[in-house]
């Protein structure tokens, strides 16, 4: 369904004295999702997870430069093609609830999303009612404006908006943020149900434990780079995880060893070597001199000189 190869995202800005400066935020990012699959994308805040979703939809700021190859359903995802697919075959559950139009009633917004995705005008009301029911939203909520919604309700409306239509690829950017545990579990369950119907779901989240309950595969980001792609089953034991950063993330969870917390990982645009080298106990001279390739290892892929 979706195949991303060697994606890089750079931002250009001008500093004091109108000096041009380029910052590489995402570099060498690889990811693939098959129909019927939930691919969880995990990593620390600032790792570039949300930028990935924005790049796929073509909604990055004008000072962003995107390089690499992206294929959707076997064909290159060009800007021209994307303009016809956005909202129809590719839908986004945004991270921020401010994505709702403050001047329109939420029912109107969900209905517009349904019509944009190909639902007929006749079937739109029934489809919207079904979406509201699926996400535990009362019918009267459709007549409310966004300012009348709680944070959790707004997030459920956003999820309903993205999934109300016939999109084959769902980009879910922190879809459980602000939801209580029961509602979050329900929302993730619906994403799993969508995947079971043949859709592909890209789940961007910081909640590793929740993601593993519905994910088939997991892509691990570190400083804007894919360092490991693993089966969700590999997280049942540290012995199956190949990259030191992935093991550190897993260890830091309260349910596991809870070995402190990792400091934020920053990578200069001109830095070579493994992005995790400064925090890795296994690093040596080769880790700082050359960037490891993303190579196949067992049932997954890993970017590490020593894996």
Of all residues in the chain, the percent with pLDDT exceeding 70 is 90
Whether 65 is in a domain gets the answer yes
- Mean pLDDT, the chain, rounded, equals 82
Stronger pLDDT, 50 or 112, i.e. the higher one: 112
Where are the alpha helices (H) located in the chain, listed in sequence order? 49-57, 79-85, 106-116, 124-134, 151-163, 181-196, 208-212, 244-251, 285-289
User: What's the domain range around 280?
Assistant: 2-39+47-84+221-302
User: Strand pairing of 38-42 and 217-222?
Assistant: parallel
Whether 278 is in a domain gets the answer yes
270 band by pLDDT with thresholds 50, 70 and 90: very low
pLDDT digits (tens, 9 = 90+) for 13-45: 877 777 777 777 888 888 889 999 999 998 776
pTM, two decimal places: 0.83
CATH of the domain at 286: 3.40.50.300
Lookup: tokens for 282: 């296994």
3-class SS of residue 188: helix
Distance of CA 67 to the CA centre of its chain: 18
Whether 59 is in a domain gets the answer yes
pLDDT digits (tens, 9 = 90+) for 173-222: 888 777 778 878 887 888 898 899 899 999 998 888 888 889 999 988 88
Given the structure tokens 């779901």, which residue do they identify?
A: 201
CA–CA gap between residue 175 and residue 150 (Å, rounded): 15
Q: How many domains does the chain have?
A: 1
Whether 92 is in a domain gets the answer no
């Amino acid at each position: 369904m979706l195949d991303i190869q060697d994606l890089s995202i750079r931002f250009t800005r001008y500093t004091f004295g109108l000096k041009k400066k380029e910052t590489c935020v995402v570099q060498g990012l690889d990811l693939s999702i098959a129909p019927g699959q939930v691919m969880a994308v995990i990593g620390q805040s600032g790792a570039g997870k949300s930028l990935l979703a924005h790049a796929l939809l073509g909604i990055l700021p004008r000072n962003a430069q995107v390089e690499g190859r992206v294929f959707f359903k076997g064909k290159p995802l060009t800007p021209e093609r994307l303009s016809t697919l956005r909202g129809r075959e590719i839908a986004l559950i945004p991270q921020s609830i401010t994505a709702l139009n403050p001047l329109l009633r939420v029912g109107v917004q969900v209905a517009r999303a349904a019509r944009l995705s190909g639902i007929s005008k006749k079937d739109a009301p029934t489809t919207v009612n079904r979406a509201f029911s699926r996400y535990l939203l009362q019918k009267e909520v459709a007549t409310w404006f966004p300012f009348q919604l709680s944070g959790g309700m707004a997030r459920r409306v956003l999820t309903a908006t993205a999934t109300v239509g016939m999109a084959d690829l769902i980009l879910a950017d922190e879809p459980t943020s602000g939801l209580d545990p029961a509602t979050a579990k329900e929302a993730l369950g619906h994403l799993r149900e969508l995947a079971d119907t043949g859709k592909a779901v890209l789940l961007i989240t910081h909640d590793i434990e929740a993601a593993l309950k519905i994910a088939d595969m997991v892509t691990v980001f570190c400083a804007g780079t894919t360092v490991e792609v693993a089966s969700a089953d590999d997280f049942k034991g540290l012995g199956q995880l190949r990259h030191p950063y992935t093991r550190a993330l897993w260890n830091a969870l309260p349910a596991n060893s809870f070995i402190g917390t990792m400091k934020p990982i920053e990578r200069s645009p001109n830095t070579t070597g493994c992005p995790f080298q400064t925090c890795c106990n296994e690093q040596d001279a080769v880790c700082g001199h050359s960037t490891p390739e993303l190579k196949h290892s067992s049932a997954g892929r890993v970017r590490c000189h020593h894996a």
